[in-house]
Structure 1
């Protein structure tokens, strides 16, 4: 019996993008355990092929930062050792070193570890995979799985399990998701509010529990506010029934790709679109090309946030209409 541990330690969106590679691993393994961070735990539980989810906050990944606690690390090592895994694959982005994770896995006695790494791994990796940085995150993970002996699935689109929400929405609606896990990737609340008023069709405004004030403001008198009202699985169903979604480069854009809903992506060019654009779903990227593109800033240091706030409400309305033409009544 082959038990494989896979890891993706960052956000829900990142975990979703590892989904096709995890399905590839699951097709060739008897059991798959996913080690993820608390910001990715909801998405981890939606992925087909995952038998068990372990949640741990990695100090080298979590953006809030916290002190390294030896007892906490020892407890994780003991939990992984008790699993008796045969192999491990570390999935991550180009700017994340897999080596701290590999060290944890070695301490837990994992006998074989593979990862993509530009850094010399010493004895930490059995498979040191290399790939060009400018590929999509999905392709990056699939290529590592392939190198480890797990061929890509025939259908490499994103795929999730989802729950139906306990409420009904008017048909023909568009989702507007104004928040983002990184502030520099969010269109201004004022632009989002103006968009909701300008769309001339039903609009559902979504957001997490900590974004209720934002979603209430954006919804105003024209939108249906669902801020904090759904789990991630329920949000997936809300997006699945929408004609389109307007969203930044953040988790719900990848939820939309997983359920096949067209995406109007307000894509801040802080990171390259080739790596993070919506995967295998109709979409349009809207942004202003600026000299500071590729800055990887979490908070925009330029007054007015020109790469996103230079996108007009009319441009977004037009993109929604192109991707999801409004039905014309006879």
Structure 2
């Protein structure tokens, strides 16, 4: 059986689809994933993937391209050439899988499954309903299981990527903590001043710090590192970043793709977690982690990309000392089970 898994948005979303992809791979002769440009590099890292198809969908993303009939039909032809027997369309709870399902029907795929709260007509063979408050990784795996796929024996459904490379030439040999100050959505990252304060506090506590960021974030990483930390801004692709994160004692990062990449390589995460999206759906998955921030801030549940509250209190209320304490919690003793609620109170889970 040849199977197609679709996840058209960000790199972090694609990483969270990993357990579902492995379940599909365990029951298929060949697996392809259809992703958008932002998720292609992450898809290349997922175990179980034989082929990556890339397409920028007009119904996904913040600046989507216009709908062009020729491009939609060209995608349908590319998918048809794969001769897929079945397809799963993965999407977040607020997204509709139905436009994608229509294209897959045009491509001749006879069986399609997805989570959908909207009537799908003949577009879906499996209309699955997501369980309330499920983590995004669990929800995707739930859909795969409902479609008849199962994880192979010994696979516990954690996040995984292909073996990370040795990146000591970038980081040096001595132990270090990573600070990743940026995020695709500004609401999910602290201000540069707060991130720099975290670096200063970590260095004062005796940690060696490595600051990471993408090619468009070099000014940010330089401002945060400020000569106190190793600045790797713009110097790693996603695979190299997986090696940097794998070698770290802990990663300090917002709710963004590198948090999920850290989880996929098994590194503890201190998360600047803005409550614009629910923590139960988007927290670092199955690794020890601490959530820092104000879950009761005025931005809670808004899905805002830019903080709607003056002075960004949900994250900029977090001090460098709190970051340092959270790192110590994860690196000097086992993480506690359970959770704590409150403004800038660590939430520690394993």
- Determine if the TM-score, normalized by the shorter chain, exceeds 0.5: yes
Tell which deviates more after alignment, 176-185 or 66-75: 66-75
Q: 1:125-169: per-residue Cα shift (whole Å, max 9, x none)? A: 000001223110011011100010002343211110133335352
Indicate which of 238, 247, 272 corresponds to 2:244: 238
Q: What residue ranges of structure 1 are gaps of 5+ in the alignment?
A: none
Query: Are 2:202 and 2:320, in contact at CA under 8 Å, matched by a contact in 1?
Result: no
Determine the C-alpha separation between the residues in 2 that align with 1:234 and 1:144. 31
1:258 match: 264
TM-aligned CA deviation for residue 110 of structure 1: 0.6
Residue 29 (structure 1) shift: 0.2
Q: 2:32 maps to what in 1?
A: 33
Counterpart selection for 1:320 from 327, 330, 343:
327
Contact kept in structure 1, 2:298 and 2:309, CA below 8 Å: no
Q: 1:276 matched to which residue of 2? A: 282
- Work out whether residues 215 and 227 of structure 1, in 8 Å CA contact, stay in contact via their aligned partners in 2: yes
What TM-score do you get using the length of structure 1 for normalisation? 0.96
Q: 1:175 corresponds to which residue?
A: 178
- For 1:205 and 1:168, how far apart are their aligned partners in 2? 10
Is residue 299 of structure 1 aligned with residue 310 of structure 2?
no
Which residue among 244, 247, 254 is the counterpart of 2:253?
247
Query: Counterparts of 2:273 and 2:151 in 1: how far apart (Å)?
Result: 28
Counterpart residue number, 1:138: 137
Equivalent position of 2:338 in the other structure: none
8 Å CA contact 1:17–1:137 kept in 2: the answer is yes
Change (3 A) 1:26 1:206: same
Q: 1-side partners of 2:51 and 2:62: how far apart?
A: 25
1:249 Cα offset (Å): 0.3
Q: TM-score if structure 2 supplies the norm length?
A: 0.91
Q: Determine helix, strand or coil for the equivalent of 1:33.
A: strand
Instruction: Name the count of aligned residue pairs.
Output: 325
Q: C-alpha separation between the residues in 2 aligned to 1:164 and 1:132?
A: 39
SS at match of 2:271: strand
- Shift of the alpha carbon at 1:37? 0.4
Matched, 1:157 2:158: yes
Distance 2:56 2:38 in 1: 9
1:210-257 superposed Cα distances (whole Å, 9 cap, x missing partner)? 101100111101010000101101101101110100000001101111
Q: CA RMSD in A?
A: 1.2
Is residue 60 of structure 2 the alignment partner of residue 61 of structure 1? yes
Query: How far apart are the structure 2 equivalents of 1:211 and 1:205?
Result: 11
Secondary structure at 1:62's aligned position in 2? coil
Question: Which has the larger displacement, 208-217 or 163-172?
Answer: 163-172
Q: Distance between the aligned counterparts of 2:232 and 2:171, measured in 1?
A: 12
Change (3 A) 1:57 1:251: same
Q: How does 1:179-258 map to 2 (within 5 A)?
A: 179-200=182-203, 201-258=207-264
Q: Give the unaligned 5+ runs of structure 2.
A: 334-350
